Amino acid sequence: MSDKPQARKRQPEQVRQQLLQSAARLATEQGVNAVTVSAVAQAAGVTKGGFFHHFPSKQALIEGLFDDMLQRLDEDLDQLIAGDPLPYGCFTRGYVKLAFLDNQKENGWAAISFTMLTDIDLTVKWDNWLANRLQKHQATDSDPHLEVIRLAADGVWLASLVHRQKKFCHTEQQLLSMTLGA
């Protein structure tokens, strides 16, 4: 029998996901200011060195978290669009539905959304993401009427973050019905 300790199997993607999930949880529960290198590393059960192996800085972690959330947003939108029987406005309807989902606000998006307002790098990422989605759905969602609906959904999203207790159920139905034709 060997006295050497067993080397732990490296699972870099799993560790990276643990770091992202820990950062999202801290951001949701305590705000983005609570997302520090030490706090995230401790919450994920890794050393600071392990943290820095995956993210060279807190800013890189925040950007990684934002990228991860955009990817999940893409997946959720694609699923909503695939289930929509009407081509006209399908992206806008999915966008509106996502703005009203409580779980979208509870998985770190709320904190990151506020950070995006003051972080130019995140704002540029969001703008690029939205431009790419609009380009992809140009044939179905380029109507200026639909742009107004998406902007209204953005306003509801922000209002729901500021006024956490207020629900905007009727607004969602109103916006969705508006996507059915100009």
Q: Are residues 99 and 137 in the same domain?
A: yes
As a whole number of angstroms, the distance between CA 33 and CA 30 comes to: 8
Q: Are residues 79 and 163 in the same domain?
A: yes
pLDDT of residue 99 exceeding 80, the answer is yes
Q: Is residue 92 part of a domain?
A: yes
Q: Is residue 170 part of a domain?
A: yes
Q: Are residues 48 and 70 in the same domain?
A: no
Q: Are residues 123 and 158 in the same domain?
A: yes
Region for 5 from its dihedrals, namely left if φ exceeds 0, alpha if ψ lies in -120 to 50, beta otherwise = beta
Q: Is residue 144 part of a domain?
A: yes
Q: Are residues 153 and 72 in the same domain?
A: yes
State how many domains the chain has: 2
Q: Is the pTM of this model over 0.85?
A: no
pLDDT of residue 121 exceeding 60, the answer is yes
Give the tens place of pLDDT for each residue, 55-88: 999 889 888 888 888 888 899 999 999 999 999 9
Domain that holds residue 134: 66-178
CATH number at 50 reads 1.10.10
As a whole number of angstroms, the distance between CA 25 and CA 63 comes to: 15
| pLDDT for the residue numbered 170 | 82
Q: Are residues 111 and 28 in the same domain?
A: no
Query: Which 8-state DSSP code applies to residue 116?
Result: H
pLDDT band at 92 (very low <50, low <70, confident <90, very high): very high
Q: Are residues 37 and 103 in the same domain?
A: no
